[in-house]
Structure 1
Amino acid sequence: MNIKEAAEITGISIDNLRYYERIGLIPKVPRNASGIREYDKTSLEWIAFSMRFKKAGMSLDSIREYVQLALAGEATKEARREILSETKESLEEKLRELQESLDVINYKLAIYDKTCEPVTTKLVKTWKTSR
């Protein structure tokens, strides 16, 4: 299939598919005699594989490194495991930060009518009178 069809199937723009191939986020896509990309089942699987990592929050650099290591073979297994571990740690930190933010919002909601709304009302009133 051509790049337009691959873009439709994957939901990734043509420009991004070209970019991802150029930077090594996905392996080189086979080309026909005219040099036109011909996406096959394996190409689509690599795209899906890389996009799962992207969706999980892995940086493009880390995805590229992981893909290149995977293409290099079994000897890179531990290096790939390290990339996954680093990504896991990063996601866990983001989860902690999000949980802290959620805790603040939940607290503010719990005290909204008694505390937050009167403060907001006062700030707005003060702002309007100072203008």
Structure 2
Amino acid sequence: MIIKEMSERVGLSADTLRYYERIGVIPAVPRTEYGVRTYSEVHLEWIESILKLKASGMTLEMIIEYVRLANIGDTTIEARKNLLEEERERISEKIFALKQRQSMIDLKIKDYYEDLLPKTTAMIKKMNAAFNE
């Protein structure tokens, strides 16, 4: 299939497909004598796998490293798994930080009328008084 067909199948622009090929996220795509890229089903499977890694939150740099390791072969199986585990840890840290932020906002909501609203109102009155002097 040509780049337009692949683009439609995977939901990526032709520019993105060319970029992914250039940076090594997807393997080189053979071309016709006129320079037209001809994608195979293997390319489709590869791109779909890459999109799943991307959807998991992995950065392009991590995906490039994963692909590089995969191309080396079976000696990198543990290193590839480690990349995934590192991503899981990074996500866990983000979730923890978000839960802390959620707890803080929950407290602000709970005490809104007794705490935040009176403080905000008082600060606005003080600022207005200071600017109107």
Coarse TM-score class (shorter-chain normalised) = 0.7 to 0.9
Superposition deviation, residue 100 in structure 1 = 0.9
The alignment's C-alpha RMSD in Å is 1.8
Structure 1 residue ranges, 4+ long, deviating more than 4 angstroms after superposition: none
Unaligned runs of 5+ in 2: none
SS at match of 2:47: helix
1:35-114 correspondence runs (5 A): 35-114=35-114
Report the Cα distance in structure 1 between the residues aligned to 2:14 and 2:51, rounded to whole angstroms. 15
Deviations 1:7-44 (A, max 9, x none): 22222222221111111111222322322112222212
Separation of aligned partners in 2, 1:88 and 1:4:
34
Q: Deviations over 1:59-79 (max 9, x none)?
A: 211111111211222221111
Write out per-residue CA displacement over residues 42-90 of structure 1, whole angstroms, 9 at most, x where no aligned residue.
2122112112212222121111111121122222111111111211111
- In structure 2, relative to structure 1, the CA distance for the partners of 1:100 and 1:32 (3 Å cut) is same
Larger Rg: 2
Q: Distance in 1 between matches of 2:14 and 2:90?
A: 30
In structure 1, stretches of 5+ residues that fail to align are none
Structure 2: how far apart are the matches of 1:128 and 1:15?
53
Residue type at the aligned position of 1:31: R
**Partners of 2:12 and 2:124 in 1: how far apart?**
45
For residue 129 of structure 1, report the CA deviation from its aligned partner: 4.0
| Residues matched between the structures, number | 131
Distance 1:33 1:75 in 2: 37
Distance 1:107 1:17, change over 3 A: same
- Give 1:15's aligned residue: 15
The percent of aligned pairs where both chains have the same amino acid is 43
- TM-score, normalised with respect to structure 2: 0.85
| Rounded Cα–Cα distance in structure 1 between residues aligned with 2:18 and 2:108 | 46
SS in 1 for 2:39: coil
